[in-house]
Structure 1
């Protein structure tokens, strides 16, 4: 296309070339020059109009020669270019409208432990977190003390969730969670020699549909919201109902009910042999929970009903648990849990006691146990908080059946300070003292200085 600037130059040059020398002389006159410029402007407008007519004829000719399919294709291209691009699907197999979420934390634990009456095996649960039954015991004067330092990041965790609300209003949720507390798979993995490599551990994996939940998660008999704010991974575990397992749960309002995976722990008659598990249970563990909450905190009450089976014999057990949190002003709260009953063994204190014991004739008897904790939390400032926690479990053993090597009582007290220089980053230090006593009177204690660095994301 010829530009307006080029047209102007062409018109002026043509006019100048056609002018005689006398006209050039006259052009020196201002009035003559002004008239001539007006004439040139008119000629330029006429040339511009002629050019526009030419362009219109060319466009009409091109449109007439194009095929209908080409025109449709051009129209489609224009429409496609005008329409906004559809957002890319994050996961193509997911239901439309699904919202995905991801999170977890990195946690470094470093601790120095001293036991008064024996050693805990390297890499065992008691060396990584507070495991009440791992505290060594011995008769007075017969034990030997031991000290160890352990540093690990095995409890670092991640989770993935998918939430969907259908057009009809149904709410679907999928959730999976894992950490690295899973041991190793070869001679160099899962130890402190070279790689400190650890396998994944499945913690939770469930799907929910409106009021129903199916999969593995915390037992409905447990109140996770009441757990204290501790540096140790489990904190006051001897007095805590603590269990994750597969279940089918229904929740409606303040009530929830579940049928959960059964598993029976059994102590042989007179303690002749190690505790073992029965894999022949046929009835699920049944639970019911009621809860209420408000600005003051929350309160829950839960019941557990169990059926035990081994060989040709059966037994039943039942337990209750109450727990909650009470807010005492803006900077303080009190958290608590009290639980007990018959056959509560594997739910209390990391299976500190057994669910059942066999008599001399091989019949099952449910064992009683009780436990609880109380924890006071105080915020000194928005960045600094502290906790003071006491926990205890007492097992009502029939020594004539269980023998005298089973745990009678375990308790612990701990105090900590947790500083958060930035949101989601915790730097914690905790001092704890724990004791365990068995039926024959032997006992031992454990003292631990535990620190952690934890970043939530």
Structure 2
């Protein structure tokens, strides 16, 4: 660079004036000064470039830190928004007292049911005429005609509270009532029925205390049916008191124990001295494709010497259930459940069989069962939808202990069409066929046609 500068300046000087020896020294001095200035400029530029690169690196680091802080703030804001979202939703339907929002929800449902049974008559007022109970389908008798009943017993009331205890914690509660499976007036005059407790629980942050759906049951997989449950033979269905911890998709619970036992005479006895809770572990997976749940249960089945006149005994019960709801395009979904285990009796199909049988020595023999269902729902339009479903239950009863008069298997199928003229209202028609078979081969079936109208609020 120095050589180029000298050559350029020398050429310019030579063109501007005639060459003279006296001027050579002056030109050299000018060239030296110019070269020094240029070098200083180059060094300054290099220093500025290094400073700019350092400033740019610092700016990038600061930007990345700011983005991280912004994301953390957004996540915290989303968490806080989620915490206050439910109280806001409840406030839309309720009122506020101090720091507590009190709200309500539920539905009014009318059912017109006509059914017949091939194995015997079901008496008027019997709950078997209100919804499917597989273990109570009559067998071995004369067929009935078509019996028709109207009722509004499934109508439900839900009361909720959400209390503001600061941004770091959440405190909620829920009490739920309906009028199913309760005594009261008959069909002659008043059709009055007593309310019953369905759910009653408190939630504090990740903890739940109270009566709720069993953690072993996935309510989100239940089919879209007019019958109270729909696919009852293949469904885990239990509500009971518990302590539950939830973290993300993980749920851990200690739930109320209760052992149901089949006696050598074929009867059912409830053990009154359970000591350990039923332990449940569950994980929920979800995405745009739908949701899947895997749940396991461990039980201590127990009877004492004052239950059946024996010396008492205990046995291990266990089970695994996989269930879910899968999106099949924009208008269809598939709901399913599969459950297998030993000593699960009261958890499956409204206690189709018992948890265990009692042998001649007074020892418990857990009863192995497997069951499941699948339900396909299609939306014909925004106001019209249909579901078809089927379920199955099978028990491996120790027949020498239970006799042949206990249920060996049960299954059912149904299809419906439901119309929603406006969003909160459903009007539907459903046909169901169900069958129950005993270990001795005796069987009976149930056919049901149901018309329902439901208004959710």
Do both share a fold (TM > 0.5)?
A: yes
- Structure showing greater Rg: 1
What CA distance in whole angstroms lies between the structure 2 residues aligned with 1:297 and 1:417?
23
Structure 1 residues 162 and 252, CA gap change in structure 2 (3 angstroms): same
Which residue is equivalent to 1:289? 282
The residue that corresponds to 2:293 in the other structure is: 300
Structure 2 equivalent of residue 125 of structure 1: 127
Change (3 A) 1:405 1:331: same
TM (normalized to structure 2)? 0.76
- Deviation of 1:342 after TM superposition, in Å, equals 0.3
Secondary structure of 1:225's counterpart equals: helix
Match of 1:362 in 2: 362
CA contact (8 A) 2:116 2:143 kept: no
Query: Secondary structure at 2:146's aligned position in 1?
Result: strand
1:395 aligns with: 395
1:144 Cα offset (Å) = 3.1
Structure 1 CA distance for aligned equivalents of residues 426 and 95 of structure 2: 32
Match of 1:246 in 2: 241
- Offset of 1:90 from its aligned partner? 5.2
Unmatched runs of 5 consecutive residues or more in structure 2: 1-93, 305-311
* Contact 1:183–1:190 (Cα < 8 Å) also in 2: no
Q: Is the 8 A contact 1:182 1:200 kept in 2?
A: no
1:193 aligns with 2:194: no
Please say if 1:144 is aligned against 2:143. Answer: yes
| Contact 1:384/1:417 (<8 A) preserved | yes
The residue aligned with 1:428 is 428
Secondary structure in structure 1 of the residue aligned to 2:129? helix
- Report whether the alignment pairs 1:161 with 2:163: no
CA contact (8 A) 1:182 1:199 kept: no
Distance 1:258 1:190 in 2: 38
Deviation at 1:167, TM superposition (A): 2.1
Match of 1:220 in 2: 215
CA distance, structure 1, for counterparts of residue 258 and residue 158 of structure 2: 27
TM-score of the pair, normalised by structure 1:
0.76
Q: 1:110 to 1:136 in 2, by over 3 A?
A: same
Counterpart in the other structure of 1:344: 344
CA offsets 1:213-250 (integer angstroms, 9 cap, x no match):
00000000000000000011111111000000000000
| SS of match in other structure, 1:401 | helix
* Aligned counterpart, 1:106: 108
User: Aligned partners of 2:281 and 2:266: how far apart in 1?
Assistant: 35
Deviating above 4 A after TM superposition, structure 1's stretches of 4 or more consecutive aligned residues are 89-92
In the TM superposition, residue 182 of structure 1 has moved relative to its aligned partner by 4.8
**1:400 counterpart SS class:** helix
The residue that corresponds to 1:69 in the other structure is none
CA drift at 1:97: 2.9
Change in CA separation of 1:273 and 1:445 when aligned onto 2, cut-off 3 Å: closer
| Aligned counterparts of 1:415 and 1:168: Cα–Cα separation in 2 | 47
| Contact kept? 2:246, 2:252, Cα under 8 Å | yes
1:333 matches 2:333 = yes
- For residues 156 and 316 of structure 2, the distance between their equivalents in structure 1, rounded to whole angstroms, comes to 37
What is aligned with 1:204?
Answer: 199
Question: Residues of 2 paired with 1:371 and 1:229: CA distance?
Answer: 19
Q: Deviations over 1:318-357 (max 9, x none)?
A: 0000000110011000000000100010000000011010
- Quick check: 1:120–1:134 contact (8 Å CA) kept in 2? no
CA 104–90 in structure 1, closer or farther in 2 if over 3 Å, else same: closer
User: What is the number of equivalent residue pairs in this alignment?
Assistant: 357
Given the superposition, is the C-alpha separation of residues 399 and 327 from structure 1 closer, same or farther in structure 2, using an over 3 Å criterion?
A: same
